[in-house]
A = this chain, B = another copy of it.
Amino acid sequence: MNPGKVSPKVTSGRSAGSNLHRKLAQSIGNQILSGVYAPGAILPNEADWCRIYGASRTTVREAVKTLTAKGLLKSRTKIGSRVEPRENWNILDRDVLAWHMASMNPQEFFASVQEVRKILEPEIAALAALNRTPQQLRAITEAFEDMRKARPGRSSVVPDVRFHLALLAAANNVLLSPFGIMIEAALTNMFEFTSTHNAEPDMFIPKHEGILKAVARGNANAARKAALSLLTDTDQTIAQVPIKARKARKAKS
């Protein structure tokens, strides 16, 4: 994975980073997330990166700054750049999450996602029921309508995402907003592996409608319950794909 010339791996060209420093950041980021450089390891220095990618030092440094800002790196004079411990990584950053997904077993990833979603989304729905503004309710409603109108399939994913993001926004707590990225990634990519939107629209729409109605009439408990129900439902759809047990992270003792 380390050819002498241009870009080892410009994988997952999502979100179109046409800029060179962006491409470098993606490439290096992918290598870190995929374990080529483990936490604590010292990365090649700037001059090395210049040679590896055939880019100028300015560009390399901008890429490094980007990764540093996302918590993946830390640079020190005379030492070089060292990979930060995982708990400092900004995993809910759009790019970092993408790199993470690219180097992970999908089932394992969706297991983590669903775990978090089951914790958060019911409470998000409850908060939305309590705190939503009329405008936010309208946004949720519109997303729902578009969802219902859409034919099952790829296109129905978009309003589905919009629905959940609108719900999140309606919870009116900034500290929860980073999860928008996760939800978006989950719904969008789940489509690639499952056929949620094809399989059971008959289940799907009413469940969402249940959330909407509960939020509309400000019933937190009902909203919570409806959201949880949707999630467990999604779980079953996922479960059709062979599930692998959670990997116990190991260390020994």
- In the assembled complex, which residues on chain B have CB atoms less than 8 Å from the CB atom of A207? none
A113 touches B175 (CB 8 A): yes
Q: Which residue of B lies closest to A57 (CB)?
A: B58
Contact of A61 among B62, B67, B169, B251 (CB under 8 A): B62
What is the number of residues of chain A that contact chain B, defined by CB distance less than 8 Å?
Answer: 53
Min CB distance A39 to B, Å, is: 13
A175 touches B112 (CB 8 A): yes
B87 touches A90 (CB 8 A): no
Q: What are the interface flags for A62-94 relative to B under an 8 Å C-beta threshold, 1 for contact and 0 otherwise?
A: 100111111100000000000000111111111
Asked if A120 is at the interface of the complex by the 8 Å CB criterion, the answer is yes
Q: A21-B65, A94-B71 are in contact. Are A174 and B133 (CB under 8 A)?
A: no
Asked if A48 is at the interface of the complex by the 8 Å CB criterion, the answer is no
Q: A115-B173, A116-B175, A177-B87 are in contact. Are A93 and B68 (CB under 8 A)?
A: no
Contact of A178 among B92, B113, B172 (CB under 8 A): B92
In the assembly, what is the distance between CA of A190 and CA of B62, in Å?
A: 36
- In the assembled complex, which residues on chain B have CB atoms less than 8 Å from the CB atom of A180? 87
Among residues 154 to 181 in chain A, which have CB atoms less than 8 Å away from a CB atom of chain B?
165, 169, 172-178, 180
A173 touches B70 (CB 8 A): no
- In the assembled complex, which residues on chain B have CB atoms less than 8 Å from the CB atom of A135? 251, 253
> Which listed segment binds B: A1-9, A142-150, A228-236, A242-250?
A242-250
A residues apposed to B, CB below 8 Å: 21, 25, 58, 61-62, 65-71, 86-95, 100, 112-113, 115-116, 119-120, 123, 127, 131, 133-135, 138, 165, 169, 172-178, 180, 182, 246, 248-251, 253
